[in-house]
Chains A and B, each alone.
Chain A
Amino acid sequence: MKNTLLDLYRKDSTKKVLASLISILAGLVVGAIVVVLVGLSKPNIGASGIWDGVRLIFAGILSTGRAATGELSWGFNARALGNMLFRATPLILTGLSVAVANKTGLFNIGAPGQYLMGTMATLVVALSIPYGTMPVFFVWLLAFLAGCAAGALWGAIPGALKAFLNINEVLACIMTNWLAANVVTWVFEESNMKNIVEGTKAGYIYKTTYGLTQVDGAWTYVEGNGVATAKMGLDKIFPGSQVNGGILIAIVIAIGVAILMSKTTLGYELKACGANRHAARYAGIRDKRNIVLSMAIAGGLSGAGAALYWLSGNTEFFWSTYQSLPAAGFNGIPVALLAVNNPIGVVFSALFMAMLNIVGQQLTGFTAYNEYITDVIIAVIVYLSAFSLLIRTKLSGKSKAGKTNANAELVKTEEKPTAEAETEKGGEDA
């Protein structure tokens, strides 16, 4: 092995990372092309406007705004980076959710529903425990666990349908998504947790920073009496941003999932069931239980994502969800795809997706462009990450030539001879 670089390139994991990076790069390039085309079609943008747009697409997260001269200024943008971390938090968890299910051979498209159920349980618990009945931290913990449990339950339903009745989990997940949307709308409609704007029908559920407090004999929500995730010092590093300790919790969970999947007997069982349910059964692994368990874990992760997002107390929840599903749930799918289902990779791909989101805001804020251009980028990346398997195969095609197997007959089950290039060299002649 003379060439360590070539060895590195030949490693499967390197190829996975490369494939994802290629998808990302292609997405950014397409985004830049859109920026250029839009710039050319609009006379008010001009050459310098186009140049600014392209630079923001690639490095918007490092832009600090416009200097007095009108030039874009660059540097450490604490606010943008902090917000990126804040937005990445739920994405990490929904990404993990999709990734865990995928490792067990299931496609968890139910993350939005699990996320919604998690949202509901978290908010209901956080808002219905009267202020002062227990330490705020316990309220936080209860609300967080309730979110996880609700998500887990919502994930276990399609899991059980799959395991015991062999109903396709994708169908069941889509159904449970909409069930969740309607259940959540209904529960909050009936609740007193709505904060209706004076004179309108529109309103939001109170933020978790509000606490149920008795004022003059009446129960009312008072700001500051509720719960919020601890900042854990991150507000010092990223002043002016929404960031809180949730991102650290999410990263710890990601590490936990990585350990679960790669080091434990449970992870081994889940993966065995996913890769070959028949062989798992043959070996005495309870495949049905594992399918339900895998979906429950996946649901619990989505629920945890919702809990961490809403427990931040930064954002108000618009309860009427019966016509839409949360993007944070669906975006778990591209996050997991981009990370090739690797739990640690999920952290990075979620951060990247959150960054694109912030870049969109920068575009709107600093240029004449519209933030929706970043949605185009995300769309291209999602599209390409679905192709990442193809890209990986292409990468393999080139490098594996080195050890291409002339004796495809070694692997009799492969279609031959087209599959010859695919099959690794076996031992017979090694």
Chain B
Amino acid sequence: MQSEFIIEMLNIRKEFPGIVANDDITLQLRRGEIHALLGENGAGKSTLMSVLFGMYQPEKGEIRKNGEVVKINNPNDATALKIGMVHQHFKLVDVFSVLDNIILGAEDTKFGFLQKKEARKKVQQLSENYKLHVDLDAKVEDITVGMQQRTEILKMLYRDNEILIFDEPTAVLTPQEIDELMEIMRGFAREGKSILFITHKLNEIMAVADRCTVLRKGKYVGTVNVKDTNKQELSNMMVGRPVQLQVQKDEAKPGETILSVQGLTIPSKSSKKDAVKNVSFDVRAGEIVCIAGIDGNGQSELVYGITGLEKTSRGKITLNGTDISKASISKRNAAGLSHIPEDRHKHGLVLDDTLENNIVLQRYREPAFQKFGFIKKAAVREYAEKIIGQYDVRSGQGPVTLSRSMSGGNQQKAIIGREVDRENPLLIAVQPTRGLDVGAIEYIHSQLVSQRDAGKAVLLVSLELDEVMNLSDRILVMYEGEIVGELDPKQTTVQELGLYMAGAKRNTKGGEQA
């Protein structure tokens, strides 16, 4: 007799010295369902999956497949049970072709020679059946992130896995790719495969999942039918308190122009075309202007150009009345620019340095923090503690914590604290909530709004449509390096925004003043 559940993790308890990562967690996956696993960063989702994959042995609890108790001692056991996973950070060999990556580790051989023909046939079949379009002969390093993800999915299918785990699969995808992935997942469920979908994005759960299990701080909160719940309820379960999903803000009261960009053109690093083409816009005090667009349409380059990280070929940037078109980065910072960078690990933090040193990253030369070239450690410490307290940056050892050891949300809070506290008239925030959980997002949004209300000009670059719609006072849409539209978030819809983002619609000429 078949059990109702294909895989069950019953009363799992996993302790690490000093902390209980999983405390009596039960997760039951039905055959052919899409089951979401929801929890904030640190809720124990990864640990639970590691237990399922045999990387950790639980202290208590058991795992059952088809109702029978199984023992999973290592990832090979999991593979034998037909459990497959698409990791958040793909496990692909960049210089191998897509096909080679798919068969890697499960190669058919004859007399020690690879039998790629058979494999190719099987992969092609799968790719057609599930509409997973990939170029089997392209090298992984040359294909888009979306295609890399499809390669990972094909890897699971090639191994005939029937339990498919997706770990934060949408974090790296564009809105269109997310829709495609959702469709693919529904297809799998129809075929009778069972899907475990790890995420903290509520929209996606509402859109695709049948049931949802919520974890919080290592504990099991509950399993709900998605049909019978709503986003607010789910987020309350996840965070443990009522969460403000909608950003609370009053009407903007724009003042004088702080940032003025005129005819800015920035050459592309990867191709001969310009990444930013003749872009002009203003940001005024007391408003949040959002640059929307699909990733890779010149938003990053535009910000690099304004902040000085990349050279511009034409155009004029005026900040607070000063022409900074050719100024050095430190001069731009001094002229009144704060920048929450897109990549907090690359640009935002020196990960192998302490939190306090990172907090004074731009300010260590100020007389408050140095004398005759010697850093005033006590002053740095005091200032770091102020920022840590004021912006609720949580870390193991306070100011001397290694930045690398902090959680993503707290790293971002430290950066925001650092940038906001410099009291500059212009704040540029690029994808400030990427990869963060609901609690942190709520906090960051409220910070941005309060900066606006304090009379700062805020330039926000975001790929998240919700964020764009909720936060901004004005939306500029970028498409292929140009600003193709200026929209009022109160008078537009996500659908209309999507058309602009896809280049199907435009309401400005060339890159003239939007």
**Which residues in A have some Cβ–Cβ distance to B below 8 Å?**
263-266, 268, 271-272, 275-276, 278-286, 401-413, 415-418, 420, 423-430
Contact = CB atoms under 8 A, between A and B. Distances in A.
Contacts of B88: 412, 416
B365 interface: yes
7 contacts: A265-B374, A284-B331, A404-B17, A406-B20, A412-B408, A416-B50, A429-B42
Contact of A405 (B15, B16, B332, B409): B16
B345 interface: yes
B499 interface: no
A100 to B, nearest CB: 17
Given A272-B350, A282-B339, A282-B341, A426 B394 contact: yes
**4 A-B pairs closest in CB distance:** A427-B394, A406-B21, A284-B330, A424-B405
Given A412-B41, A428-B394, A402 B17 contact: yes
Contact of A279 (B18, B41, B50, B350): B350
Interface in B363-379: 364-365, 370, 373-375, 377
Contact of B373 (A266, A411, A425, A427): A266
Given A284-B328, A427-B395, A430-B394, A409 B43 contact: yes
A428 B361 contact: no
A417 B55 contact: yes
Contacts of B89: 413, 415
B511 to A, nearest CB: 26
Contacts of A406: 14-16, 19-22, 44, 47, 218
B302 to A, nearest CB: 16
A264 B373 contact: yes
B16 to A, nearest CB: 4
Contact of B47 (A276, A279, A408, A429): A408
B333 interface: yes
B124 interface: no
B435 interface: yes
Interface of B: 14-22, 40-47, 49-50, 53, 55-56, 87-89, 217-218, 307, 309, 328-333, 339, 341, 345-353, 357, 361-362, 364-365, 370, 373-375, 377, 393-396, 401-402, 404-410, 435
Contacts of B346: 276, 278-279
B407 A428 contact: yes
Contacts of B217: 429
A275 B352 contact: yes
A401 B17 contact: yes
B46 A409 contact: yes
Contacts of B50: 416-417, 420
A281 to B, nearest CB: 7
Given A282-B339, A409-B45, 6 more contacts: A271-B353, A283-B329, A406-B22, A408-B46, A409-B42, A417-B47
A155 to B, nearest CB: 21
B373 A410 contact: no
A420 B47 contact: yes
A284 B42 contact: no
A411 B394 contact: no
A404 B43 CA distance: 15
A137 to B, nearest CB: 28
A272 B373 CA distance: 16
A202 to B, nearest CB: 50
A427 B44 contact: no
A279 B329 CA distance: 12
A424 B406 CA distance: 8
A326 B191 CA distance: 71
A263 B410 CA distance: 27
Contacts of B402: 424
Contact of A420 (B46, B307, B329): B46
Given A413-B345, A427-B395, A403 B407 contact: no
A403 B17 contact: yes
Contacts of B365: 265
Nearest to B339: A282
A271 B360 CA distance: 14
A272 B42 contact: no
Nearest to A269: B364
Contact of B42 (A278, A416, A426): A426
A276 B350 contact: yes
Given A278-B347, A279-B350, A406-B20, A427 B407 contact: yes
A409 B350 CA distance: 20
Contacts of A266: 373
B410 A427 contact: yes
B235 to A, nearest CB: 17
A88 B51 CA distance: 53
Nearest to B348: A279
B19 A284 contact: no
Contacts of A271: 350, 353
B362 A275 contact: no
Contacts of B44: 406-407, 409
Contact of A276 (B349, B408, B410): B349
Contacts of B361: 272, 279, 282-283
Contact of A263 (B307, B347, B350, B375): B375
A1 B21 CA distance: 23
Given A279-B348, A402-B18, A428 B362 contact: no
A280 B329 CA distance: 10
B86 to A, nearest CB: 13
Contact of A410 (B55, B345, B408): B408
Nearest to B410: A427
Given A408-B46, A409-B45, A410-B42, A284 B362 contact: yes
A264 to B, nearest CB: 5
Given A278-B346, A413-B408, A428-B410, A407 B47 contact: yes
A425 B42 CA distance: 10
A11 to B, nearest CB: 11
A423 B406 CA distance: 9
Nearest to A427: B394
B374 A263 contact: yes
A409 B22 CA distance: 13
B37 to A, nearest CB: 12
A429 B347 CA distance: 27
B19 A405 contact: yes
Nearest to B307: A282
Nearest to B436: A412
A280 B349 CA distance: 9
Contacts of A403: 17-18, 396
Nearest to A282: B347
Contacts of A413: 89, 345, 408
Contacts of A411: 404-408
A426 B47 contact: no
Among the interface residues B14, B22, B46, B362, which one has the most CB atoms of the partner chain A within 10 A?
B46
Among the interface residues A265, A282, A284, which one has the most CB atoms of the partner chain B within 10 A?
A282
Given A265-B364, A426-B406, A429-B19, A418 B47 contact: no
A425 to B, nearest CB: 6
Contact of A417 (B46, B345, B353): B46
B347 A410 contact: no
A405 B47 CA distance: 10
A426 B329 contact: no
A282 B56 CA distance: 40
Given A278-B347, A426-B405, A407 B373 contact: no
B359 to A, nearest CB: 11
Contacts of B15: 406
